[in-house]
Amino acid sequence: MTERLFQAENLSVSFGGIRAVQDLSFSVEQGEIFSIIGPNGAGKTTVFNLISRLYDLDRGRMIFEGDDISGLAPHQIAERGIARTFQNTELFERETVLNNLLIGRHIHRSTRLLDEFLFLPGVRRQELEFRKRVEDVIDLLDLQPYREQIIGNLPYGVRKMVEVARALCMEPKLLLLDEPSSGLNPEETEDLSYWLEDINEDLGITVIMVEHDMNLVARASHRVLALADGLALAVGAPSEIQNHPDVLRAYLGD
Amino acid sequence: MRFVLKTHYGQDVDLFKHSGQRFWYAALAIMVGLAPWIMDDFYLGELSLVFIYAIAGIGLMLLVGYTGLVSLGHAAFLAIGAYSHAYLLGHGVPFPVALAAATLFSAVIGAIVGLPALRMIGIYLAVATLAFAIIVEQVLSHWESVTGGYRGMPVPEAELFGLSLMGSQTFYYLCLALLVASLLAALNLLRGPTGRSFIAIRDSEISASSMGIHLARTKSRAFAISAGFTGLAGGLFAHKLGYLAPDAFTLLTSIQLLLMVVVGGLGSLHGVIFGAIFIGLLPQAIAFLRDTLPPAAAQIPGLEPGIFGLILVLFLIYEPLGIYGRWRKIRLFFDEFPLYRSATYRRQKSYLRTERVR
Ligand SMILES: Nc1ncnc2c1ncn2[C@@H]1O[C@H](COP(=O)(O)OP(=O)(O)O)[C@@H](O)[C@H]1O
Ligand SMILES: [Mg+2]
């Protein structure tokens, strides 16, 4: 039997007059790749910002592994094991890829400030251990050529993948990907779909993905949620959603 | 060109990345170690002052250059370190204990000042820290029983195991040792999780918090550590001054400290050293200027702060990476000769960042 990892209950939030998300409920099973689709401005990114607690809910609550996480601080969300990427990337621009990924290990640190000042053997051991984990992720996503490069000098497609890598370095239980394929060329998108499989099956990470590329969505996801104007239109298998009359209407703007 | 062959991850964790670096740092160490035999007392005193500035600069650099938080009030931490150190010495506390206590005390005040500052960014934070510095200046001027008010207070001689530390050579080595220790501590911090969390906050707060970094706690830590280093410098500075009065710790001092990290090059500890040398030499340069300028121009009130401000602005516009940035470009030119591309350091247009989440 599959277990419920994440559950959203009646999420609502509005900005001024705009009801960005209205009374939205959905649940994500352990081990699933769950996609959220919808036209621009549908409220997809807002859902992610609610989950990562960058926005406060007006109403509703979110359950993760049986606990209510609606009141946690953003850093506590990360500590619980929820990692994310951003639609237009939010990397540490002036640092190398390596340092960006090492920051991804932050929640796994166990050293104290005083030890770090002295760089005691425990700190060195931890650094080497972090580095090994980071290298595993670099190998997984083929980022070897960029290891020492400053983010600011990298092409957009690489940055998108570095952001995914950084999230993976957190070893999350739940990974939120906001339009991972936007800005990627077809070849990179193809790679992305394989990596998604690896992330999901080999690493056992549950994924919620906001995505426009319907091919990718159909190939990679187990279930799809269609949103429009902050409202849920339908949830179901990719093929069902693609042909769902309400979804077609929302996209074609009937 | 130089290629560094890396054979294990430890090399990236190490302080010195290759033997060339080790060689140059050893050469530098020998030079500053032998300076007392070469230089006369005046220059030795100036060099000690540069070391003291550099320690304060490490503190300010961690805050401004690595955490991205601006402070226009660091003279206050210098003052807190200086006064508390002198006060403790005056009450019979042994030198090392007094200095350590002054450092810790400054750090605690830093953490407390950091708290309200956590919700502020940019110009608001600059103004808040400025306000704090003014409050401290007022306290120093009016709390006569402790600080001596406007009259000030003398700084007792420093001694250790009955030996005076005030000889120009001994004091030089004391400042040097503390500078080296401070540099090592800062370098260690920066190659570990805490340093990286500072950098993360500097580059993207929302991203940092989504990586599990507690923004408030980390920023207040940055403030505390920054104030601690600056307070330590303050303790040494007290001996350099010999007599403490509030007018040694004014807005001008704060700007001078900021000038040091900006001119040196934000986001690098090398920059701190360059910056410290720069502001150490500046008074001489200004004095020279006063002598050479026609009297009418030399008597302009506010010449000194004016020059400070001008240099600050010019650097921000033309060399935002500071002296260290310029040095790196020159070095890269020779490293890559004849393949150097002049666009290597050109600032690139950065891509859109997440617009909605700010
Ligand atoms: N911080 C905010 N302030 C004001 N309006 C916002 C904010 N975040 C999102 N919105 C609005 O909410 C709606 C949904 O936005 P978003 O979730 O980004 O859409 P998308 O589905 O394209 O990701 C849009 O109308 C957007 O303008
Ligand atoms: Mg979006």
DSSP per-residue letters across A90-144: ---TTSBHHHHHHHTTGGG----HHHHHHT-HHHHHHHHHHHHHHHHHHHHTT-G
Residue in A116, A132, A152 closest to B192 by CB: A116
Indicate which CATH number applies to the domain containing B347: 1.10.3470
Token pair belonging to B45: 């005193």
Q: A160 and A95 share a domain?
A: yes
pLDDT of the residue at B157 = 81
What is the number of the ligand closest to the CA of A178? 2
Taking the C-alpha atoms of residue B180 and residue B51, their distance in angstroms, rounded to an integer, is 9
Nearest CA to A98 among A43, A32, A169?
A: A169
Positions in chain B whose pLDDT score sits under 70: 1-4, 18, 117, 298, 335-358
Provide the pLDDT for residue B295: 75
Optimal mutation site among A127, A133, A156, interface B, most CBs of chain B within 10 A: A127
Which ipTM score applies to this complex? 0.90
Contacts of B196 in chain A (CB under 8 A): 99, 102-103, 106
Of the residues A154, A172, A190, the one at which a domain ends:
A172
On whether residue A250 sits in a domain, the answer given is yes
Q: Mind listing the pLDDT tens digit for each residue in A34-43?
A: 999 999 889 9
Asked if B5 is an interface residue toward chain A (Cβ–Cβ < 8 A), one would say no
- Domain span at residue A1 reads 1-25+213-254
Distance between Cα A15 and ligand 1 center (Å): 8
Residue A56 falls inside a structural domain:
no
How many folded domains does chain B comprise?
Answer: 1
User: Nearest-CA distance from A152 to chain B in Å?
Assistant: 7
The number of C-alpha atoms within 13 Å of A205 and in the hemisphere containing its C-beta is 25
Residue A121 to residue A150: CA distance in whole angstroms: 28
Q: What is the CATH number of the domain that holds A111?
A: 3.40.50.300
Does residue A46 line the site of ligand 1, with CB under 6 A? yes
Q: Does B343 touch chain A (CB under 8 A)?
A: no
Q: For residue B267, what is the nearest residue in chain A, using CA coordinates? A: A94
Beta bridge partners of A59: A12
Domain contains A112: yes
Cβ pair A5, A29 in contact under 8 A: yes
Render pLDDT for A114-165 as a digit per residue (tens, 0 to 9): 999 999 999 999 999 999 999 999 999 999 999 989 998 888 889 999 999 9
In DSSP terms, A228 is beta-bridged to A231
CA distances for B11 relative to A94, A241, B322, B346, angstroms: 22, 52, 28, 29
How high is the pLDDT of residue B318?
77
What own/partner pairs with CB < 8 Å and gap ≥ 24 does A49-52 have? A49/B356, A49/B357, A50/A11, A50/A13, A50/A21, A51/A6, A51/A8, A51/A77, A51/A82, A51/A84, A51/A176, A51/A208, A52/A77, A52/A78, A52/A82, A52/A84, A52/A176, A52/B210
CA distance A134 to A128: 10
Buried residues in A223-251 as b, exposed as e (16+ CB within 10 A): bbbbbbbbbbbbbeebeebbebeebeebe
Whether chain B has a CB inside 8 Å of the CB on A124: the answer is yes
- Nearest-5° Cα angle at B53, B52 to B55: 65
Q: Is residue B31 part of a domain?
A: no
Residue A184: inside a domain, yes or no? no
Q: What is the pTM of this model?
A: 0.88
Same domain, A87 and A143: yes
- Residues of chain A with Cβ-Cβ distance to B11 below 8 Å are none
Residue having the nearest C-alpha atom to atom 1 of ligand 1? B356
Ligand 1 in contact with A15 (CB < 6 A)? yes
Which of the ligands is closest to the CA of residue B355? 1
Q: Which of chain A's residues have a Cβ under 8 Å away from the Cβ of B207? A: 86, 90-92
Whether residue B283 lies inside any domain: the answer is: yes
Q: Which residues pair with A209 in a beta bridge?
A: A35, A177
Euclidean distance between CA atoms A162 and A156, whole angstroms: 10
Q: Which of A119, A151, A172 is the last residue of a domain?
A: A172
**B193 Cβ contact list (under 8 Å, min separation 6):** A105, A106, A109, A111, A116, A126
User: Which chain B residues touch A127 with a CB distance below 8 Å?
Assistant: 13, 191-192
Does A233 contact chain B (CB < 8 Å)? no
Taking only the tens place, the pLDDT of each residue in A76-124 is 999 999 999 999 889 998 899 999 999 999 999 998 999 999 999 999 9
Do A163 and A225 share a domain, yes or no? Answer: no
* pLDDT tens digits, A188-241: 899 899 999 999 999 999 999 999 888 899 999 999 999 998 899 989 998 888
pLDDT at A8 over 90: yes
Interface test with B, best of A54, A138, A173 (most B CBs within 10 A): A54
Domains in chain A, number: 2
Angle, vertex CA B282, rays to CA B278 and CA B287, nearest 5: 160
- Asked if B213 lies within 8 A of A75 by C-beta distance, the reply is yes
How many helices (H) does chain B have, and how many strands (E)? 16, 4
Tokens of B285: 């340069």
Flag whether A60 is in a domain. Answer: no
Q: Which of A149, A172, A195 is the last residue of a domain?
A: A172
Residue A252: CB partners within 8 Å, gap ≥ 6?
none
Looking at residue B337, its pLDDT comes to: 66
Question: Per the CB < 8 Å rule, is B204 touching A91?
Answer: yes
Check residue B7 and give its pLDDT: 75
Q: What is the pLDDT of residue B353?
A: 41
